[in-house]
Amino acid sequence: MDALLFYGLIVVGTGALVGFGLWLQYRRNQAVQAWARSIGWTYLGTDPSLPSRWRTRPFGIGDSRRTAELMTGVYQGRPATAFRYSYTTGSGKNKSTSVFHVVVVPLPAYLPNLELTPEGIGSRLAETFGGEDIQFESEAFNQAWRVRAGVAKFAHDVVHPRARAHPLCPRSLANQSDSGGRELSAELTQHARRQE
């Protein structure tokens, strides 16, 4: 009888946790929808085709690639799209989920690819084995950012001295910015959580 009660409590407890998680997600979705309406944007929810639209990081990495909280609207006179993007890497105890908040703005003309990512161990290792990193006059900027571009002159035109000297340069350039073709995307925040 004690074993039955114990397993019953486990089942009820698990059900309560799942229900609470679903309720929290519902509340978050309601808040995001209300915020989108308050700024005049349209909440669309999700679009499974978005993760395959871009070639650069963070897209094309990991498994279970998903978008959520997709909304469209106008920002400073330009159409824009914003969404939450996530993917998983690893398995078992090493499984983790990375989450990005992405903003995409269509551009009036085609531009070469330009990618800015924070310098880290991975980017330094890539450079050691021949990975591209365009260098600028500022050594502090070079140590903080990895810059890759289809056309180096374009990178120097966009990441000009005034932009590099801006006190909020890392924030103004986001965690990663990518232009290529007719869109500019910026992955504004990233966090990873380990799955247990």
**How much is the pLDDT for 155?**
80
pTM of the model: 0.65
Residues 6+ apart with CB under 8 A from 95: 88, 89, 194, 195
Here the tokens at position 136 are 């600028």
- Give start and end residues of each alpha helix (H) in 107-166: 121-128, 139-144, 152-158, 161-165
Tally Cβ neighbours within 10 Å of residue 3.
Answer: 7
Pick 90 or 126 by higher pLDDT.
90
Here the tokens at position 133 are 């990193």
**How much is the pLDDT for 172?**
41
Count how many Cα atoms sit within 13 Å of the Cα of residue 137 in the half-sphere of its side chain. Answer: 8
Pick 52 or 70 by higher pLDDT.
70
Cβ burial of 181 (10 Å; 0-12, 13-18, 19+) is middle
| Across 118-135, average pLDDT | 63
Over 50: is that where the pLDDT of 56 sits? yes
Model confidence band, residue 38 (pLDDT cutoffs 50, 70, 90):
very high
